[in-house]
Structure 1
């Protein structure tokens, strides 16, 4: 039986088992995918005992993504670009890693707003953490030339801009609404709006009709950010789709089948989110 898992500290909130076990059933694969609580001080030992534990590999979530990247012997360019890993496996006995957040975000954006590339204007990114890096990398890879990063801590935005080069600029958080009228895509990579707490403070009345607003938060499914964007004629892209799409490469790596994200799977996870207290 093939086995994989997701590790984090804590880990009880993760919905990855719901996704992967759905696919295991759908494709008739004899395997399991579980949650494994791993303390930061135990991460090295856990990752270097995957084979002994009978694991094909694992996902890593908070707070392990950066440390997992550093521990891996083989690093996919997707992980190198953001200095973090969320997907790990063994390659001839050596620990290998990738970051599928970029793939997940871009695949979901393409599926939910297929015409986004046709729009002119800058890409606005709210936040400058690990998720922001994955999103910026995706837009750069797609050929975007004007990406503006807004963060409440200016130094982090400037660091991200330096990391990626001239096509990415750091902007003042308090000036974010001055850029909204030009924007083709606005992305919230912060936790503002999670569990209906906090607000990005974006004035969508200034935005172009048909621009895209994407939120990485998926609890609740419709955040205030998305609700206000849609009310002002923008195309809203929620964070659940990214969660589903980012799981695809890992499942293929561990279980040998490339799964398809379906509306049925979306509804199953959406119902779980809707009925949970997070």
Structure 2
């Protein structure tokens, strides 16, 4: 059997990871494959034991509900994944199984051109405080952002901020951002503002995110990690207002590229990302 990697979860049939990785494997001319493997919670330990003994296995991506449960079954956890408290990528390294979190790097990837610039101040408003928000918050915190968290569950918001900088003044109920405010924004020259939706609101089958744009600074970047639909109501309004908009496919492809490099030891061939996005949206 040739070399392979895979994504595991319960359920797993919906995953787009095989499409992404097979696209890159073909483009790179790598004789390997990538599968979606259904692993139930009570099968997780047995799955890892069987893969340890397989010399063709290059690793796996990990999705719901295994991102926390898999951690005590691994030999080593990357420090960033340990801080986030979740693993979504496992790689065999020598005799060890090592856990990583590629959401951190994947989220930052489309922001890199802006992060390479010098700013007087960086501020992010993160809407949502679930699992994805933790990777997003830590990534932005490490890039020097002051972070406000808006969440339906304020205890979750406090727990999220406790990972980097507890501050009761910088959390708010999510519905606070749905109510218009009369605020005279100051001069934002030299300031990088980012507003990130990490909730499922705006996703197909869910209501839109209730955000009134009076809460959004001029020239802010609006980043929605939802990718189905590609243009959520939040991003559509951002574009109408002339704001920079980043969709969820950017993070999906970015985190997959980080995993691909770990699996196969080469960078993912990114020269035809537009063709890949078209496949993902077909």
Match of 2:237 in 1: 228
Q: What is the rounded CA distance, in whole Å, between the counterparts of 1:85 and 1:124 in structure 2?
A: 24
Q: Which residue of 2 aligns with 1:270?
A: 278
Q: Tell me the CA shift for residue 15 of structure 1.
A: 0.9
Are 1:196 and 1:220, in contact at CA under 8 Å, matched by a contact in 2? no
* Secondary structure of 1:122's aligned partner: strand
> 1 or 2, which has the higher helix percentage?
1
| CA deviation after TM superposition for structure 1 residue 38, in Å | 0.7
Distance in 2 separating the partners of 1:116 and 1:234? 18
Please give the root-mean-square deviation of Cα atoms over the aligned residues, in Å: 2.3
Q: Structure 1, residues 147-176: CA drift from partner, whole Å, max 9, x if none?
A: 011110111001111122247932222222
2:210 to 194, 201, 204: 201
Cross-structure match for 1:243: 252
Distance, in Å, in 1 between the alignment partners of 2:42 and 2:277 is 31
1:142 alignment partner in structure 2: 143
Any conservation in 1 of the 2:149–2:171 contact (CA below 8 Å)?
Answer: yes
What is the TM-score when the length of structure 2 is the normalising length? 0.88
Once the two structures are TM-superposed, the CA of residue 125 in structure 1 deviates from its matched residue by 0.3
Moved more, 135-144 or 174-183: 174-183
Relative to structure 1, the CA distance from residue 94 to residue 179 in structure 2 (aligned partners, 3 Å threshold; closer, same or farther) is: farther
Q: Tell me, in whole angstroms, the C-alpha distance in 2 between the residues paired with 1:196 and 1:117.
A: 40
Q: Give 3-state SS (helix, strand or coil) of 1:221's partner.
A: coil
1:48 is matched with which residue? 49
Which segments of 5 or more consecutive residues in structure 1 lack a partner in the other structure?
A: none
TM-score (norm 1): 0.89
How many residues get paired? 271
Alignment deviations for residues 62-107 of structure 1 (CA, whole Å, 9 cap, x no partner): 1111112232220001211110000001122222100010100001
